[in-house]
Structure 1
Amino acid sequence: MNKVCKVILLCLVALTATACNKPEREIKAGRYGMMSDETPQYAALVFIMVIYEDDNLDDAIKISTDKFGRLLKSYHTNSGVQRHVLNLRLTEMTVEPVSGGFQGMTEFKKEATVDVKITGTYNHNKIVDLKTISMVKESGDWKISGVSNTIP
């Protein structure tokens, strides 16, 4: 009986460890450097970080809508997405949400837009750009549906 309990406990621990598969990113934004992973701002920051820091587009496609995911997939590589979708190639990058425009009560919304400030370097030149990330809420998760320039 004791061995059976240990096996069941081990299976439950393994199941809970594998059930959490959201992309884990350390994001120092929001109040006191903490940001909930259920906000659209978090999803926008993770999307930008995945595009610039990962080796492939798999995680970016996972957090995008089907239509936008097909667009990302059509560019094949992260540098292709940086060049054509974001129109911003960088070698080093930091990203933060732009404060202002209080969203409030985002848990009840179905659509959101988040302005992000991307700071980085390319060819030893400092570049600062603002992008607007459009999102929709699908089955409880924020999915990226588009990227545009904040200032046209």
Structure 2
Amino acid sequence: MPFLFKNKKFLPINFYIKDFVNKRENTIKNLLIKLTIITGFLFGIAACDDSPNREIRAGKYGMMSEESPQYAAIVFLLTIYENENLDETISMTSQSFGRTIKAYHTNKSVQRHLLNLRLDKVEIEPMSGGFSPRNEFTKKSTVDLKITGYFNNEKIIDLRTIEMVKKGGDWQIIGVRNTVP
């Protein structure tokens, strides 16, 4: 059996082969463990994506253009009822109306005081009578919305009118009022 010199001792060659194989196996195990941890971490981050992917089912055949004032009005009210904070809501308003909303500090306060309509679950759809297909090309628009929701397990249906202006290609909300006085 051939011998090799290691640390002033003669060791058989199969010792070196076993040592090499053991180191190689440990390296592969460590690599697999690291790969598993990284993959789990990436799946966790992907699952925690906080970007809202709202699918608004309204308009003809359940589709609505994102450039339409109806879409902007629905998203505005959904941000008040579904988001944790008012940041996205304020970004959709004019400066003066944004300051008014910001003064209420929380979504529940905006629901309670500005809209006078507290809801736990909400569905919002545009009223078909006020729809004009040319609305997306105008500078000002008012949209009537039907809000259906529940508060304390009691069904509530209400109508609101959202007033908007178009600035820089985006619709900005300038006011909310009751549709029926």
TM-score, normalization by structure 2: 0.70
1:94 equivalenced with 2:123 (yes/no): yes
- Contact map agreement 1:23 1:59 (CA 8 A) in 2: no
- Contact map agreement 2:69 2:141 (CA 8 A) in 1: yes
Q: Which runs of 5+ in 2 are unaligned?
A: 1-50
Q: CA deviation at 1:131?
A: 0.2
Residue aligning to 2:177: 148
Residue aligning to 2:91: 62
Q: Which runs of 5+ in 1 are unaligned?
A: 1-21
Q: CA deviation at 1:107?
A: 3.2
- Say if 1:23 and 1:69 are closer, same or farther in 2 by CA, change over 3 A: farther
Q: Percent identity?
A: 60
| Aligned-residue RMSD, C-alpha | 1.3
1:77 equivalenced with 2:120 (yes/no): no
Matched residues in 2 for 1:24 and 1:106: separation? 24
Q: CA deviation at 1:24?
A: 4.2
Secondary structure of the residue aligned to 2:98 is: helix
Stretches of 4+ moved more than 4 A in 1? none
TM-score, normalization by structure 1: 0.83
Provide Cα deviations, 1:40-73, integer angstroms capped at 9, x if missing partner. 0000000010000000000000111111100000
Matched residues in 1 for 2:121 and 2:136: separation? 33
Residue aligning to 2:7: none
Provide Cα deviations, 1:102-136, integer angstroms capped at 9, x if missing partner. 32312331100000000011111110000000000
Q: Which amino acid aligns with 2:59?
A: G
- Give the helix-richer structure, 1 or 2: 2
Q: CA deviation at 1:25?
A: 1.9
Q: Which structure would you say has the larger RCO, counting Cα contacts within 8 Å and 6 or more residues apart?
A: 1
Q: 1:136 aligns with which of 140, 161, 165?
A: 165
Q: CA deviation at 1:23?
A: 6.1
1:51 equivalenced with 2:80 (yes/no): yes
Matched residues in 2 for 1:119 and 1:108: separation? 29
